[in-house]
Amino acid sequence: MEKIIITVRNITLHAELFDTRTAAAIAGALPIETTPEEWGDEFYFEIPVEMSLDETATTKVKTGDIGYWPPGNALAIFFGPTPISSGSEPVPASDVNLVGRITGDATILRSAKGARKIRIEKA
């Protein structure tokens, strides 16, 4: 597993990328610094990686999961419910490849909503 650091405003979170082809492609594109979009308690943003759905593809994600969304070539960081959630867990718009997980409390990202910049880099 590749260890990464996610920085938004004054928040720094540690995370791990899983041992998958999609996660390896993402690790190879780091560092990434961009403006995140928000969808409920999810940050997502386009990254310079093009992959299709893989064996990890699912709509069943948990708070703290990191997914890759092929339709938008986007990385998604889930830190709470999304607009289509029926409970407290996030639900992506469609299948995502599970590529990693935040190792700390992902819900702290709620305080970073409206951020103009997010940075993902190797630890």
Distance in angstroms (rounded) separating the CA atoms of residues 99 and 21: 9
- What local confidence, expressed as pLDDT, does residue 23 receive? 98
- What local confidence, expressed as pLDDT, does residue 53 receive? 98
- What local confidence, expressed as pLDDT, does residue 82 receive? 98
> Is residue 100 within 8 Å of 4, Cβ to Cβ?
yes
Angle at 70 between CA 9 and CA 115, to 5 degrees: 15
Distance in angstroms (rounded) separating the CA atoms of residues 65 and 63: 6
- What local confidence, expressed as pLDDT, does residue 20 receive? 98
- What local confidence, expressed as pLDDT, does residue 69 receive? 98
Taking 70 as the pLDDT cut, the residues of the chain under it are none
- What local confidence, expressed as pLDDT, does residue 67 receive? 98
- What local confidence, expressed as pLDDT, does residue 112 receive? 97
Domains of the chain (ranges; CATH) run 2-122 (2.40.100.20)
Is 80 exposed, middle or buried, given 0-12, 13-18 or 19+ CB atoms closer than 10 A? middle
| Its pTM surpasses 0.85 | yes
Distance in angstroms (rounded) separating the CA atoms of residues 11 and 25: 25
Q: Virtual CA dihedral for 116, 120, 121, 123, nearest 10 degrees?
A: 110
